[in-house]
Amino acid sequence: MEWFPAMPLEDWIGTKETVHRFTQIVGKVRLATSVRRNHWWNVPFHLTGRGITTRPSGGFDGTPIFTVDFDFAGHRLIVNRLDGHSVSFGLIGQSVASFHRNLFEALEDLGVEVGIEAVPFGLTDGTPFAQDTKHADYDPAMVTRYWQILSQVNLVLERFSAEFCGKISPVHHFWHTFDIAVTRFSGRSAGPEPQADPVTREAYSREVISSGFWFGDDAMPWPAFYSYTAPEPAGLAEEPLRPEQAAWLPQRGSHLAVLRYDDARAHDDPVATVLDFLESAYQAGARRAHWDSELRTSPPGVTDPVLEQEPPEAPAGGA
């Protein structure tokens, strides 16, 4: 499969709006049944070989240990309990309302009792999930492609992550904004405004530079790679970005470094192009915010004081 196949937003906007709400319902179940981690790291989805997963949840207060997986190759939602029992149902033809009902019936069948705030988070249409019969589009080919692109971007972000030895998040897929991202930390407190909402206060309690990818929305109706520095240092948008198609775009009083997906696809080596873009945006933020240069490692992924002085070697066959 080619790297970064075409994914115009207009080709699957109805499907995207439906699947986004599916993931919000499952994500809220994960939020309610997982141990809280700093910066909400317990909440996002992780990639699997066939879709995305909540990872094991529950296990405390008498709740069975269970996992909810989206199979975007077979187009099913699977709820697995640790003892091997499982319940699944097809995703094709589901409205948000029927998905919500089927998921909670599956959880009940497996002995999982959980309550969620059953309304969309941060979406313009706030119809409660149980009443939403309007969002019912599901194009299986486009959903499979969405998962395949997520998988490719996941690997690129993992490769980008390998060059940083400070505190760094996992690469994870956020259900509230429907993007995939990785976040680097300077190690310094950021002191968000006390009047900010609790989601924002936890997410931005430390200085960060985040890098990621989204599939487009009403404000920016095209898929793109992005990076931002928070809090944003003075003069950030004056810093150069690579390649030449990348730009700083104003966003809610700050700036996003943006490289459109189609511009990256047009390069002979799109993976190298994206890595170069993310690196240029990181360097811009780290330079302006005066981050410690020792947070970078060379060669990538090595902090062993002996090995880091040696040139990296290709792994031996079969290693």
Residues 81 and 106 in one domain: yes
At 194-233, the pLDDT tens digits run 888 888 899 999 999 999 999 999 889 999 999 999 999 9
Is 239 a member of any domain?
A: yes
Is 314 a member of any domain?
A: no
Question: Which spans in the chain are helix H?
Answer: 13-33, 96-109, 140-161, 198-203, 261-265, 270-288
pLDDT at 98: 98
Q: Which of 87, 103, 131 is the last residue of a domain?
A: 131
Is 303 a member of any domain?
A: no
Residue 30, φ and ψ in degrees, nearest 5: -60, -45
At 230-282, the pLDDT tens digits run 999 999 999 999 999 999 999 888 999 999 999 999 999 999 999 999 999 99
Is 76 a member of any domain?
A: yes
CA distances from 109 to 89, 102, 264 (A): 13, 10, 46
Question: For the chain, what's the residue count?
Answer: 319
pLDDT at 307: 73
Is 247 a member of any domain?
A: yes
Query: pLDDT: is 17 or 254 the higher one?
Result: 17
Is 213 a member of any domain?
A: yes
pLDDT at 54: 98
CA distances from 277 to 156, 264, 284, 286 (A): 12, 9, 11, 14
Is 190 a member of any domain?
A: yes
At 283-292, the pLDDT tens digits run 999 999 999 9
pLDDT at 313: 58
Q: In which domain, by residue range, is 65 found?
A: 10-131
pLDDT at 319: 47
With a pLDDT cut of 90, the percent of the chain lying above it is 84
Query: pLDDT: is 146 or 298 the higher one?
Result: 146
| Secondary structure of residue 87 in the 3-state scheme | strand
At 292-316, the pLDDT tens digits run 987 876 677 888 778 766 665 555 5
User: Using alpha carbons only, how large is the chain's radius of gyration in Å?
Assistant: 20
**Among 55, 45, 3, residue whose Cα is nearest residue 24:** 45
Is 127 a member of any domain?
A: yes
Secondary structure E strands in the chain: 46-47, 51-53, 66-71, 76-81, 86-90, 172-174, 179-189, 206-214, 224-230, 247-251, 254-260
With a pLDDT cut of 70, the percent of the chain lying above it is 96
Residues 58 and 105 in one domain: yes
**Among 164, 254, 149, residue whose Cα is nearest residue 212:** 149
For the chain, what is the domain count? 2
Residues 120 and 55 in one domain: yes
